[in-house]
Amino acid sequence: MITLRPYSPNDHRQILAILKESGMGPYENWDDLDNYASIVKLDNENILVAQDDAEIIGVVLLTFFGSKVAWIFRLAVKEAYREKGIGSKLIEEAEKIVRKKGVKELGLYANASNMKLQSFYKKRKYKTFGKEYIYMWKLM
Ligand SMILES: CC(C)(COP(=O)(O)OP(=O)(O)OC[C@H]1O[C@@H](n2cnc3c(N)ncnc32)[C@H](O)[C@@H]1OP(=O)(O)O)[C@@H](O)C(=O)NCCC(=O)NCCS
């Protein structure tokens, strides 16, 4: 049976494998075990996983910009489980969590050339702003 629940550190290895097959890193610092620990320390609902029996099959992560804006990161479903409604369930649950907190806007960065992904979000009433962004960073 497929269930959604808050992340636990035991899920980490399987999540990294899903991110890898989804072409989303995993990235140093961002996806480190201790970084995820600090995210769930703020609220254990900030990272949700989808589970089928003992297998982790999907993930979504929430971060916050003040009290009014939240960001979705790392929405990913294990390849073999895609197109079965799991990504939709993860998004719906993430939306429920941010609404409960009184957050006014939920956003994300999507690859501008991934039209399938854009229509996935548009169908779920997400609007688009901007055409091209690059990420810039410096290690501290
Ligand atoms: C996007 C993703 C999470 C959807 O998960 P899912 O469990 O397949 O989602 P659902 O079964 O609920 O819905 C399937 C939807 O994905 C769309 N889809 C199919 N292939 C896709 C792809 N390669 N990338 C994005 N969306 C895709 C389908 O068109 C369908 O959209 P619709 O319901 O609007 O018709 C999943 O395709 C994935 O993990 N992609 C790789 C990681 C990624 O790009 N994440 C988003 C980062 S912002």
Q: Which domain holds residue 9?
A: 2-123
User: How do residues 61-114 score in pLDDT, each as one tens digit?
Assistant: 999 999 999 999 999 999 999 999 999 999 999 999 999 999 999 999 998 889
**Which numbered atom of ligand 1 lies nearest the CA of 78?**
39
Residue 137 lies in a domain: no
Model confidence pTM above 0.85: yes
**Which numbered atom of ligand 1 lies nearest the CA of 124?**
34
User: How do residues 3-23 score in pLDDT, each as one tens digit?
Assistant: 999 999 999 999 999 999 999
Question: 138 alpha carbon to ligand 1 midpoint, in Å?
Answer: 31
How big, in percent rounded to 5, are the helix, strand and coil portions of the chain? Answer: 40, 25, 40
Residue 26 lies in a domain: yes
Please give the Cα distance from 109 to 27 (Å, whole number): 16
Please give the Cα distance from 131 to 48 (Å, whole number): 29
Residue 129 lies in a domain: no
Residue 140 lies in a domain: no
Residue 136 lies in a domain: no
CATH of the domain at 114: 3.40.630.30
- The type of residue at 56 is I
What's the structural domain count of the chain? 1
Residue 138 lies in a domain: no
Residue 115 lies in a domain: yes
Residue 4 CA to chain centroid, in angstroms? Answer: 13
Question: 23 alpha carbon to ligand 1 midpoint, in Å?
Answer: 13
Nearest CA to ligand 1 atom 26: 117
Residue 89 lies in a domain: yes
